[in-house]
Amino acid sequence: MSFIIPIKAERDCNGCTKCCDGWLTGTAYGVKFHVGQKCLWSTKKGCSIYELRPYNPCVTFKCFWKTHSMVPEEYKPNLINTILVERYFLDYKYLDICFAGNMVSTDVLNWAIKMFEDKKIEHLRYAKDGKFRILSDNLEFVQAMTNYLGHDMVG
């Protein structure tokens, strides 16, 4: 009996460093980066320690654009100043649209909402007008996320 192991093709970052440039959080070799504080090793040319970068979070992090071909090529994070991140909350997987420089464009938001409506994304979280918004047909997920974020933060 033979088994076929599917190979998941990924796009190449090719100069995109949004995940390292102070829009996400993590620690690389004991040095923290977070919103407003980019990774110490992130440069205009990319990661200065790319070949030696730590496994977690650097090797393991994959933005949704990189791993999902359903995301249009032109929605690469450094082109739209937004990072699409697949996250987990409790037992749920959801798409989080993360601000990364400019307001999330209407095109990107409309695309994500259409993916939800077409059932290609089960749960979606994004910020609009200073409040988190959640799209999901699962009331348990919505309630848990609402409790986690705070009632005043969810529209």
pLDDT at 154: 47
What φ, ψ does residue 92 adopt, rounded to 5°?
Answer: -110, 140
Domain residues of the chain, as ranges?
18-153
pTM, entire model: 0.84
Residue 96: what residue type?
A: D
Condensed to tens digits (0 to 9), the pLDDT of residues 127-152 reads: 888 788 999 999 999 999 988 887 55
Kindly state the percentage of the chain with pLDDT values over 90: 55
Is the distance from CB of 81 to CB of 101 less than 8 angstroms? Answer: yes
Condensed to tens digits (0 to 9), the pLDDT of residues 79-114 reads: 999 999 999 999 999 999 998 887 889 999 999 999
pLDDT at 149: 80
